[in-house]
Chain A
Amino acid sequence: EAGVAQSPRYKIIEKRQSVAFWCNPISGHATLYWYQQILGQGPKLLIQFQNNGVVDDSQLPKDRFSAERLKGVDSTLKIQPAKLEDSAVYLCASSFESSANTEAFFGQGTRLTVV
């Protein structure tokens, strides 16, 4: 079974530039999550999708971050414009459903460095 795919693996940009990350979840997984993991910290949820609808985006900085999952499969996360504090690993995860005991499967992440 193929895992969660993310690209690119690494990205270096200057502050105030824009960047986009792509995620392809495990086939058949309805729930998709984007997490931000700053070095030395645990992952922090940015947004959760159920199919192509947003379930929770309460921690997404909407003035600069946006995400979409138009056809309920792939998803993109965009930052525009980037700030130095956005340097982190952006993890995409998916699960079959969003019930309480369903674990999430994570991709390898995109390591973003903003200089």
Chain B
Amino acid sequence: GQNIDQPTEMTATEGAIVQINCTYQTSGFNGLFWYQQHAGEAPTFLSYNVLDGLEEKGRFSSFLSRSKGYSYLLLKELQMKDSASYLCAVRDRGGSYIPTFGRGTSLIVHP
């Protein structure tokens, strides 16, 4: 099984940088996803990490440390439209590769 922990809510100012952390415990790790979900909408894929290090994609970056069971999503130059829930999901080494989602972090960006 897996245990995934994220902060429930964060607030930040437009134009700033915010880091959303995710810690996990799993019997066998096989990749970590970050998804963005606006209220009332479907989750959309942001990033995938399977090796240690930083993956950068525009204003968003995701970091993974497998030895620490830790990931973060870094959002730069925050915009009002970044207000959303950010979901961390971990895949284990089970044959079906099903990702287990955390509860999500609700990010509120204010002017």
Contacts and interface: CB of A to CB of B under 8 A. Distances in A.
A103 B42 contact: no
B30 interface: yes
* Interface footprint category on B: 20 to 34
Given A40-B103, A42-B103, A107 B42 contact: yes
* Interface footprint category on A: 20 to 34
Contacts of B43: 43, 91, 106
Interface stretch (A12-20, A60-68, A72-80, A94-102): A94-102
A99 B101 contact: no
A105 B45 contact: yes
Interface of B: 4, 30-31, 33, 41-45, 48, 50, 87, 89, 91, 96-104
Interface of A: 4, 33, 35, 40-45, 48, 55-56, 91, 98-109
